[in-house]
């Protein structure tokens, strides 16, 4: 019997009422990233984007006051970028200066991965609509995977709302 924890990829697909260029911009322009990064009730006070292959962006998510109000940081280190088609990056927990932090040292539940490979793809559906697919690879099945799943779904809800305002 295997003692290895079960792993699973999380896949999110959404159709946005926005053209590919606008959905792409939501991932690369700091003003847009700050509108949607973080689950419901969280804000993103800063996004320092170094959007190029080999570059690393630093995004901040601020918890609401009732949950402590603390800032949490992630880095997105870009592996491969195909303009208006795909973005592949590694997500890590980080400190405010962008240094990697072990999730366990931050009090995250066991099984929280250190390096989460993400692939974001953009598909033009015509009529100003875009299909976005976000894949987060190799999550350990458990509490943190479920929290990440809920968080990304809420981020995509906020992204859809930002397009409705535009």
pLDDT of residue 88: 98
Asked whether residue 139 is assigned to any structural domain, the reply reads: yes
- The CATH number given to whatever domain includes residue 107 is 3.30.530.20
> Is residue 21 in some structural domain?
yes
**Of 140, 153, 156, residue with least CA distance to 108:** 140
Question: Tens of pLDDT along 88-99?
Answer: 999 999 999 999
Q: What is the DSSP string of 99-154?
A: -B--GGGGTPPTT--SSEEEEEEEEEEETTEEEEEEEEEEEESSHHHHHHHHHHHH
Cβ atoms within 10 Å of 147's Cβ, excluding its own: 14
Given a contact cutoff of 8 angstroms between Cβ atoms, the answer to whether 72 and 91 are in contact is no
| Residue whose pair of structure tokens reads 């993103």 in the numeric block | 44
Residues pairing with 123 in the sheet: 131
Q: Residue 6 class from Cβ within 10 Å (0-12 exposed, 13-18 middle, 19+ buried)?
A: exposed
Kindly give the parts of the chain with pLDDT less than 70. 1-4, 166
For tokens 């509490």, what's the residue?
143
Count of domains for the chain: 1
The answer to whether residue 161 sits within a structural domain is: yes
The pLDDT of residue 21: 98
Residue 2 lies in a domain: no
What is the domain extent for residue 150?
Answer: 7-165
Residue 28 within a domain: yes
The whole-number pLDDT of residue 143 equals 86
Give the integer Cα–Cα distance in Å for 48 and 59.
6
pLDDT in the model for residue 105: 86
Global confidence as pTM? 0.93
H/E stretch holding 158 reads helix 143-165
* Confidence (pLDDT) at 50: 98
Q: Are 137 and 116 in contact (CB under 8 A)?
A: yes
* pLDDT tens-digit readout, 90-129: 999 999 999 999 988 888 887 788 999 999 999 999 999 9
Q: Report if residue 1 sits inside a domain.
A: no
């Amino acid at each position: 019997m295997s003692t290895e924890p079960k792993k699973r990829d999380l896949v999110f697909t959404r159709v946005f009422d926005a053209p590919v260029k606008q959905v792409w911009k939501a991932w690369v322009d700091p003003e847009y990233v700050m509108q949607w990064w973080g689950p419901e009730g969280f804000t993103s006070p800063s996004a320092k984007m170094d959007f190029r292959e080999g570059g690393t962006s630093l995004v901040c998510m601020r918890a609401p006051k009732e949950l402590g109000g603390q800032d949490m940081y992630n880095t997105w280190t870009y592996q491969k970028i195909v303009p208006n088609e795909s973005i592949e990056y590694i997500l890590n927990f980080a400190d405010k200066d962008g240094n990697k932090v072990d999730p366990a040292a931050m009090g995250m539940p066991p099984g929280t991965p250190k390096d989460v490979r993400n692939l974001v793809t953009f598909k033009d559906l015509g009529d100003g609509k875009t299909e976005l697919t976000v894949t987060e690879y190799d999550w350990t099945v458990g509490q943190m995977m479920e929290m990440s799943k809920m968080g990304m779904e809420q981020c995509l809800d906020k992204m859809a709302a930002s397009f409705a305002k535009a």
